[in-house]
Chain A
Amino acid sequence: MNDMLPLKSPYIVIQTAHAPYSTSAAIDALEAAFAATNIGITVVYIFVGDGVYQLFKQQQNLAIAHKSIYKKLCALPLFDVELIFAQACAVRNNKIALSDIDFDVSLLENDQLVAICAQAQQVLTF
């Protein structure tokens, strides 16, 4: 997906920066993305910092009686959120394996992350 950079059409960035279950931030970010694409806004969705923990496929959500964030993330492309990235250093530091994830996530080095945010119409962080 990195060959799509720089992005041509106007877009907003939604950064999700929190682990999946400690707060509602992960769900809030997802719902914001769905609302934006619902009215035709192009969304670039980026997992940054602790937000990359949402990409753990083996989440044991039932142990805490919570709906699976990972399953909801799998719906991102169905809601026209197709530009999905993860901060490379956070993925490496937290040893997240992106290879077995059920949707396309591309790594962004920090300079690429800055470039994408710099060109965005808006940057929202949850």
Chain B
Amino acid sequence: MSNITPTSFTLLVTKSPFDYRNAHSAISFCIAALNQGHSISQVFFYQTGVHNASCLLRPHSDDLHVYDKWCDLANNHGVILNVCVTAASRRGILDTELAPQHERANLIHPFVQVGLSWYFKSLQDNSVNIQL
């Protein structure tokens, strides 16, 4: 394992957490990559993937709590969780700046709303892209 060259990965998550397995796969990939000494430059949420960022997600108790898993990755491993602001606002995923009232915001730290260009900047830094 020590012979593995550390690689920086960027993940593009494009599917919502309940309807598809993509988010589960992305989380598993992040954990495996970090355990092997690689880094995750950012996870970028686009299309219906922005639903991963809603703090209002309430999965059943026997379902994987995708939102909590993302927060664990951010809080324990420093993984940056960027959300496309355009895709998110179209789908009602709003931070405190965009929500009509602060208390109605459902996109909060550690998720951050950014422009789509942030994702492409990461690719320019030779990060390996994984689209899910």
Q: B residues near A, CB below 8 A?
A: 12, 14, 46-47, 86-87, 90, 115-117, 119-121, 123-124, 129, 131
Contacts and interface: CB of A to CB of B under 8 A. Distances in A.
Contact of A41 (B86, B115, B120): B120
B47 A25 contact: yes
B131 A125 contact: yes
B60 to A, nearest CB: 27
A36 to B, nearest CB: 5
B116 A35 contact: yes
Main secondary structure of the interface of B (DSSP, over half): helix
Contacts of B115: 35
Contacts of B87: 28
Instruction: Please indicate which of the listed interface residues B47, B115, B121 has the most CB atoms of chain A within 10 Å of its own CB.
Output: B47
Given A28-B47, A39-B121, A121-B123, 16 more contacts: A12-B120, A24-B47, A25-B47, A28-B14, A28-B87, A32-B46, A35-B115, A35-B116, A36-B117, A38-B117, A41-B120, A41-B123, A41-B124, A122-B129, A124-B12, A124-B131
Interface residues of A, number: 16
A41 B118 CA distance: 12
Instruction: Please indicate which of the listed interface residues A25, A124, A126 has the most CB atoms of chain B within 10 Å of its own CB.
Output: A124
Interface of A: 12, 24-25, 28, 31-32, 35-36, 38-39, 41, 121-122, 124-126
Contact of A124 (B117, B124, B129): B129
